[in-house]
Amino acid sequence: MNVLRFDSETKWTEAIASLWRDRLRVNPDLKMCLPSGTTPVDVYTEMSRSARAGLVSFTRSTIFALDEFGGLAADDPGRTSHTLRRQLIDALDLPPTSFHALDPDTADITAHCADYDAAIGTGFDLALLGIGLNGHLGMNEPGSPVDSATRRVELHDSTVQSSARYFAHQHLPRWGVTVGLRALLAAQEVWVLAKGTAKAHIVRETLSGEIGPQNPASLLRRHPNAWLFLDDEAAALSPPRVVDVHGPLR
């Protein structure tokens, strides 16, 4: 896993957005897997601005939502697909049919997940991920099989409690549907975003701890093209080497 460290959130955001614009310019047909949440919101704001300014286009690209909470009302604004639409999708020139979201309310979740994997097809060109406090990727909690497909999952208590910030009520989701580790680990390129002191411990464990399903993020240390984007706070417990963002990552 390659590590990029930035001394401010502004530089962190600008670098990720700049590299993302480069990827789309080189490959306008980019197939992406994207999360919602608080970590990527500034990056999404910058990409939305870039799209409005004509600096980049999503017209030929495809976006798959990484996961979705289950057990919520269909119109709950805390659902990840609604959040991702507000944060990014609605501001892009992405054709409506090019955004794929998971539906936990479908009558046959197993079949729906199989169809989602079929739509992913040959795999993602770019998977953009956050990292959970316990190392989860999407909703692939510790212990998830390395070859896991898109599926329904039960959420760990720490994930449930962390989700509270997305909701204006106390009916927190206990399960969800997620793209599996198989597709994430098979992506041509994986970017993991982490910022803030709360992520410092799991970043250290991911970079220097044992590699295995007990910390799904650690599995990316074996990926040939995985990148960890850190601000100073997230890197505080395990200062990584600095990589020139205008060099190897291109």
Options 42, 67, 189, 205, the catalytic residue: 67
Asked whether residue 239 is assigned to any structural domain, the reply reads no
Asked whether residue 211 is assigned to any structural domain, the reply reads yes
Asked whether residue 245 is assigned to any structural domain, the reply reads no
Nearest to 124 by CA among 210, 184, 50, 171: 184
Known catalytic residue: 225?
no
* pLDDT, position 51: 97
Q: Positive or negative, the Cα torsion across 20, 23, 29, 32?
A: negative
Domains in the chain, number: 1
Options 42, 68, 136, 189, the catalytic residue: 136
Residues contacting residue 221 through CB under 8 Å, at least 6 positions apart: 1, 206, 207, 211
Element (H, E) at 9: helix 9-26
**Distance of alpha carbon 213 from alpha carbon 206, whole angstroms:** 11
Label residue 8 by pLDDT band (50, 70, 90).
very high
CA distances from 4 to 66, 170, 234, 244 (A): 23, 37, 11, 8
Reading the block at residue 214, the tokens are 């007990």
Options 134, 189, 215, 223, the catalytic residue: 134
Answer whether 127's CB lies under 8 Å from 189's CB: yes
Average pLDDT, the chain: 93
Residues contacting residue 27 through CB under 8 Å, at least 6 positions apart: 125
Q: Is the pLDDT of residue 147 over 50?
A: yes
Options 68, 141, 205, 231, the catalytic residue: 141
User: What's 201's DSSP letter?
Assistant: H
Reading the block at residue 98, the tokens are 């090019």
**Distance of alpha carbon 33 from alpha carbon 1, whole angstroms:** 19
**Distance of alpha carbon 194 from alpha carbon 231, whole angstroms:** 7
Known catalytic residue: 100?
no
Residues contacting residue 120 through CB under 8 Å, at least 6 positions apart: 31, 33, 64, 150, 179, 183
Which residue segment(s) compose the domain that 107 sits in?
Answer: 2-231
Known catalytic residue: 210?
no
Asked whether residue 210 is assigned to any structural domain, the reply reads yes
- Distance between alpha carbon 87 and the CA centroid of its chain, in Å? 13
For 234, the 3-state DSSP assignment is coil
Nearest to 46 by CA among 7, 94, 4, 12: 12
Asked whether residue 240 is assigned to any structural domain, the reply reads no
Known catalytic residue: 134?
yes
Label residue 238 by pLDDT band (50, 70, 90).
confident
CATH at residue 192: 3.40.50.1360
Asked whether residue 35 is assigned to any structural domain, the reply reads yes
Q: Is the pLDDT of residue 249 over 50?
A: no
Tens of pLDDT, residues 174-229: 999 999 999 999 999 999 999 999 999 999 999 999 999 999 999 999 999 999 99
Asked whether residue 11 is assigned to any structural domain, the reply reads yes
- What are the E-state strand segments in 49-164? 62-65, 67-69, 99-100, 126-129, 151-154
Answer whether 156's CB lies under 8 Å from 29's CB: no
Asked whether residue 237 is assigned to any structural domain, the reply reads no
Tens of pLDDT, residues 47-63: 999 999 999 999 999 99
Burial class (CB in 10 A: 0-12, 13-18, 19+), 80: buried
